[in-house]
Amino acid sequence: MIRFAFAGRVSTEDQQDPEASRNWQIARARALTEKHGEIVAEYFDIGQSRSLPWKRRPQASLLLDALRDPDRGFDAVVIGEPHRAFYGNQYGLTMPVFEHYGVTLWVPEVGGPIDPASEAHDLIMSVFGGMSKGERNRIKIRVRSSMQAQAKVEGRYLGGRPPYGYQLADAGPHPNPAKAADGKRLHVLAQDPITAPVVERIFHRYLNGMGVFLIAQTLTDEGILSPSAYDRARNRHRTGIAWSKGAVQAILANPRYTGYQVWNKQRKAETLLDVDDVALGYETKLKWNERDQWVWSDRLAHPAIVDKTTFHAVQERRARRGPSSDRPQIRTPHPYALRSLLVHHQCGRRMQGTWNHGHAHYRCRYPQEYAIANLIDHPLSVYLREDAILPDLDAWLATAFAPDHLEATLDALATHQPTQTSAATDPNRRKIAACDRKLAQHRAALEAGADSVLVTGWINETQAERAEAVAALARAGERVQTPPPRLTRQEINNIVEALGGIAAVLRTADATDKADVYRQLGLRLSYDHETRIVSAEASPRPSVGLVAVSEGGLEPPRPIKGTSTSS
List, as one string, the DSSP characters of 268-284.
Answer: EEEEES-TT-GGG-EEE
**Rounded to whole angstroms, how far apart are CA atoms 182 and 297?**
28
User: Residues 352, 441: one domain?
Assistant: no
Angle of CA points 454, 456, 458, to nearest 5°: 75
Nearest Cα residue to 539 out of 413, 406, 374, 359: 413
Residue finishing a domain among 273, 291, 320: 320
The domain spanning residue 202 has which CATH number? Answer: 3.90.1750.20
The answer to whether residue 159 is domain-embedded is no
Q: Does residue 11 form part of some domain? A: yes
- 352 and 457 both lie in a single domain: no
Which of 81-85, 348-352, 457-461 is predicted least confidently?
457-461
Are residues 411 and 434 part of one domain?
no
pLDDT recorded at residue 557: 35
Residue 567, pLDDT > 50, answer no
The pLDDT-based confidence of 397 (bands split at 50, 70, 90) is: confident
Can you give the pLDDT at residue 422? 47
Range of the domain at 352: 333-418+486-567
Give the end of a domain, one of 92, 120, 139.
139
* pLDDT beyond 60 at 194: yes
Q: Among 28-32, 178-182, 332-336, 449-453, which is the least confidently predicted range? A: 449-453
If pLDDT is split at 50, 70 and 90, which confidence band does 204 have? very high
Would you say the pTM of this structure is higher than 0.75? Answer: no
- DSSP percent split of the chain into helix, strand, coil, nearest 5: 45, 20, 35
Is residue 561 assigned to a domain?
yes
Average pLDDT score over residue span 183-210: 92
pLDDT reading at 414 higher than 70 = no
pLDDT score recorded for residue 170: 87
Q: Which residues pair with 182 in a beta bridge?
A: none
Q: What is the pLDDT of residue 488?
A: 59
Task: Give the rounded percent of residues in the chain with a pLDDT score beyond 90.
Answer: 23
Mean pLDDT computed over 518-541: 80
Residue 124 lies in a domain: yes
What average pLDDT does the segment 261-271 reach? 87
224 and 357 within one domain = no
Residue 566 pLDDT exceeds 50: no
Residue 69's domain is classified under what CATH number?
Answer: 3.40.50.1390
If you average pLDDT over residues 415-427, what whole number do you get?
Answer: 54
- 147 domain residue, yes or no: no
Q: Are residues 505 and 445 in the same domain?
A: no
Of residues 412 and 21, more confidence is placed in 21
Radius of gyration of the chain (CA): 27
Whether residues 413 and 463 share a domain: the answer is no
User: Same domain for 27 and 66?
Assistant: yes
Residue 564 has what pLDDT?
A: 32
Contact assessment for residue 389 and residue 549, using Cβ atoms and an 8 Å cutoff = yes
User: pLDDT digits over 370-390, tens only?
Assistant: 766 655 667 778 888 888 888
Mean pLDDT for the chain overall: 79
Q: Please identify, among 87, 121, 139, the residue that sits at the C-terminal boundary of a domain.
A: 139
Confidence of residue 393 (pLDDT cuts 50, 70, 90): confident
Residue 358 lies inside a defined structural domain of this protein: yes
DSSP 8-state symbol, 154: I
Cβ of 505: how many Cβ atoms within 10 Å?
18
With contact defined as beta carbons under 8 Å apart, do 248 and 202 qualify? yes
- 414 and 533 in a single domain? The answer is yes
- Residue 160 maps to a domain: no
Q: Are residues 121 and 171 located together in one domain of the fold?
A: no
Whether 204 and 310 map to the same domain: the answer is: yes
Find, among 267, 167, 287, 186, the residue nearest to 227 by Cα.
Answer: 167
Cβ-proximal residues to 290 (8 Å cutoff; 6+ apart), any chain: none
Total domains, the chain: 4
Task: Give me the pLDDT at residue 558, please.
Answer: 37
Please check whether residues 41 and 111 belong to one and the same domain. yes
Question: What is the arithmetic mean of pLDDT over 124-151?
Answer: 87
Which of the four pLDDT bands, split at 50, 70 and 90, describes residue 495? low
pLDDT recorded at residue 233: 77
Residue 99 domain-assigned (yes or no): yes
Least confident of 110-124, 136-150, 243-257, 484-498: 484-498
Lateral strand order in the sheet of 524-528: 342-344, 524-528, 533-537, 545-550, 561-562
Q: What is the pLDDT of residues 59-74, one digit of tens each?
A: 998 999 999 998 999 9
Whether residue 48 is found in the same domain as residue 126: yes
**pLDDT at 341 exceeding the cut of 50:** yes
Q: How confident is the model at residue 522 (pLDDT cuts 50, 70, 90)?
A: confident
| Stretch 17-45: mean pLDDT | 90
Kindly report, residue by residue over 468-491, the tens digit of the pLDDT: 777 777 666 555 554 445 555 566
